[in-house]
Structure 1
Amino acid sequence: MKKYARVVNGKVDNIYETDNPITDEFPSNQVWVNVTALPKIDYSWNAVNTDGVWTFTDSDMYGQPSQLSLQLRSARTPRLERANNTLASSALAYKVELGLATPADEAALLAYKQFFIDMSNVNKQPGYPLTVTWPEVP
């Protein structure tokens, strides 16, 4: 899996991981930089291209995550935790796998799978990360 940072006006405004070429995921007119080798990168970091070499620096001199990054994480984390906790406690995946699921169980598992897909695509929304429409937990 490769990690990419989208650069807009000299700042990182999106971070995305994919096994596919980034141009398969986003329009080719966007500036995406492969940052897989970087140990750390976050939203709002400064991005400078000098003769084809990108450098990224934390916009916060104390190395704290950006306010935007904290807001996104605080909105994302409880949704994922709620969905994961429900799946673990209800054993939906196991019921389906073992052939013990009711039609309602199967529909519920499909809804959770779609939720996780929708959560993984949040950063593809127009206006992300400044505006986000979060998927509802089933």
Structure 2
Amino acid sequence: MSIVYIVDSAGALYGPVTLPVVPGYGEQIPEDAVELAEELPACGPGFAWALAEGTPVRVVDYRGDVYDVDTGAQQKWEALGDVPVGLTAVPPPGPYHVFRAGVWQLDIAAQKQAKVFQVLAERDGLLVIAQMRIAPLQHAAFLKMDTEQENAVLLAWMRYSVDLNRIEQQEGYPFAITWPVSPE
């Protein structure tokens, strides 16, 4: 009695499968199936059985998600065997990693550049708000229409604005920022 395995589009063997008996015809073996003399042992995770010149062989199986080593972009890999040069089965651990010497490594310069961009964008947004608060108070002071309370608020907003503008001088910049407290 033979053992039947289905051959998928990549050439991997799945099974054994039990074929239904068709009355008057018996077992019908599909086109995408092969008969083997004996059942194959389990090959374990990361491997699959395939046929090489009609003989079952155990091959590595990286089918599924793989990652471009230049960009980290995810793509589908559907072939048996080793992943080609330029791809890896290991996902990048984060957005600022580069593939060097066969492993993903943190690119500290890229991480810092992105953090600087993020921090300065946040700072600039806060400076816009501060300037919106400062402008009418400055007008009142220029026209000598300000009250003592308005003058105190103006000075608080101006100090806040200066402190915001100096965050780049902080020791932990850009990863550890002590943000000034808004006068509001």
TM-score bracket, normalised by the shorter chain, equals 0.3 to 0.5
Higher helix share: 1
Give the TM-score normalised by the residue count of structure 1. 0.47
Indicate the structure (1 or 2) with the bigger Cα radius of gyration: 2
Structure with bigger RCO (C-alpha 8 Å, 6+ apart): 1
